[in-house]
Amino acid sequence: MPQWIQRLPVLLGMGLLVCPWLIPVVNWIGQTAGQPAPLIQEGALHGVENPLEPPVYASDALWSHQFREAFAAEFDHDLPMLTWAVEFKNQLYYWLLHQSGIDTVVIGKHRQLLEPGYVDEYCFREPQVILRHADEWAAQLAQIQAWYAAEGKVFVYVITPSKVATYPQYIPALQPCPAPPTARDALGPLWDATLDRHGVRYVDAAALTRAAAPNFPFEMFPLGGTHWNEVAATMATQAVIDSINQAPTPWKLQPFTFTWTMAPPVGISRDLTDLLNVPYPRLDWKAPQTQVAPIPPAWGCAPTDLAVVGGSFTYEILWTLDKLPCPPTVRFYSYFVANQAIYPGDIRGPVVSDERDRKLIAESKIVILEENEVLTLRSNHGPLLYDLLAAHKAMLEADHPPKR
């Protein structure tokens, strides 16, 4: 064997270290030769990272740890072959090990994609620990409801389901799951009973989804996604509307029926698939898409003001409401502080706290608080809503003390 061939693997290994720099060079040569598009193109990665702090190129900043960390992070992020590296690594993990290459997705049984946070929550769920302060939080929810009712408004508390709790059979085989199944599944009924005891108006969409699941020829969560499908979200929306309309206030929403058709998954139905950043996921499934029709008689269109505080599952409820012929005007405050969305139109932006407080305290006629079951009694956004209203009430009482 000639010596140069014997040396080839090592020389190619050395070449790999300069490979990333060949990509911009080749593209530059192409551009100078009049090629409008880059000769070597990379795809885009899905998912976002926490925003990078750009390095500050100033003489006093150069010596700081922050500069070096920012420079290294920017260097890693701007590597010309980052997309290929991520996709190659993740594909290899996926094919050879049946494992996700990123730690925000796990591959469950039957190739179901799951979020590790949901798996851990379910597997280590201890209702007796979680429900220690159940009465306290239920009483606060009842208080929120009473405060809104005193002003002629409606408050509804919505519990949304977790994929893992709905389909525990997909938990990965190597995942430890010390909590006994009966204890895990007791959380929902026990929490519902506490809410009933305190007279809270609520929709347990988790229980609703699980009860409805056998009636459909597909599962209530997509194979490659973490959020419920459109059918589950639409049924929950129906239940929320029923709950609002049963309240003794003039604020009502148009009830509706729905039909569904199956279509290739897009958007939220394949969120975890996209996040895997695997070019060939070999996940073949279809997701239901719903079409809604108002239940006659159709109402005159007078859009109602709705303010919603909740997590990511809420979006699908709001998208369903947005499909109505006369959709309500909605302000959604994701996790209270994260960002806001305005409907109709799904216009996203940062939360303006003054405006949010005004909407939640004074302007909205219907207020919805959504908590996913993985956050039952552990969410931050629920208590933040309570704190806002409690502070407002305390201020009012200080200005106008109740007469004895």
List of residues contacting other proteins (CB under 8 A) = 1, 5-14, 16-18, 20-21, 45-50, 63, 68, 71-73, 75-77, 79, 81-82, 84-86, 88-90, 92-93, 97-99, 101-104, 115, 124, 172, 174-176, 178, 226, 267-268, 271-272, 275, 277, 312, 315, 334, 338-339
Note whether 227 and 257 are within 8 A (CB): no
User: Which helix (DSSP H) or strand (DSSP E) does residue 163 occupy?
Assistant: helix 163-166
For other proteins, the closer CB: 49 or 399: 49
Question: 272 burial class (0-12, 13-18, 19+ CB within 10 angstroms)?
Answer: buried
Output the six-digit token pair for 115. 């979020």
CB 294 within 8 A of CB 325: yes
Token pair, residue 207, equals 């229980």
Kind and range of the H or E run holding 128: helix 127-130
Cβ contact 366:328 at 8 Å: yes
Least separation in angstroms between CB 52 and other proteins: 11
Select 17 or 37, whichever has its Cβ closest to other proteins.
Answer: 17
CB of 192 to other proteins, least distance (A): 27
| Pick 56 or 396: Cβ nearer other proteins | 56
For residue 93, the minimal CB distance to other proteins (Å) is 7
Q: Least CB distance from residue 36 to other proteins, whole Å?
A: 28
Q: Residue 142 or 233: which CB sits closer to other proteins?
A: 233
Cβ neighbours for 75, distance < 8 A, ≥ 6 positions apart: none
Q: State how far the Cα of 330 lies from the Cα of 64, in Å rounded to an integer.
A: 46
Q: How far is the CB of 206 from other proteins (least distance, A)?
A: 19
* Residue number, 76 or 196, with CB nearest to other proteins: 76
Between residues 43 and 199, which has the closer beta carbon with respect to other proteins?
43
List, as one string, the DSSP characters of 273-326. HHHHT-S-------EEEEEEEEPSSPPP--PPEEEEEE-TTHHHHHHHHHTSSS
Based on CB atoms, which residue is closest to other proteins, 118 or 148? 118
CB of 268 to other proteins, least distance (A): 6
Closest contact distance (angstroms) between CB of 339 and other proteins is: 7
Nearest approach, Cβ of residue 256 and other proteins (Å):
25
- The DSSP secondary-structure symbol of 403 reads P
Instruction: For other proteins, give the closer residue by CB, 178 or 350.
Output: 178
Cβ-Cβ contacts under 8 Å for 309 (sequence gap 6 or more): 332, 333, 335, 336, 360, 367, 368, 369, 370, 381, 382, 384, 385
In terms of C-beta distances under 8 Å and separation of at least 24 residues, what long-range contacts does 242-247 make, across chains too? 243/156, 243/201, 243/202, 243/203, 244/154, 244/156, 244/366, 247/149, 247/154, 247/201
Residues 152 and 249: their CA atoms lie apart, in Å, by: 6
Nearer to other proteins, 150 or 173 (CB): 173
Strand partners, 343: 330
* Residue 78: CB minimum distance to other proteins, A: 10
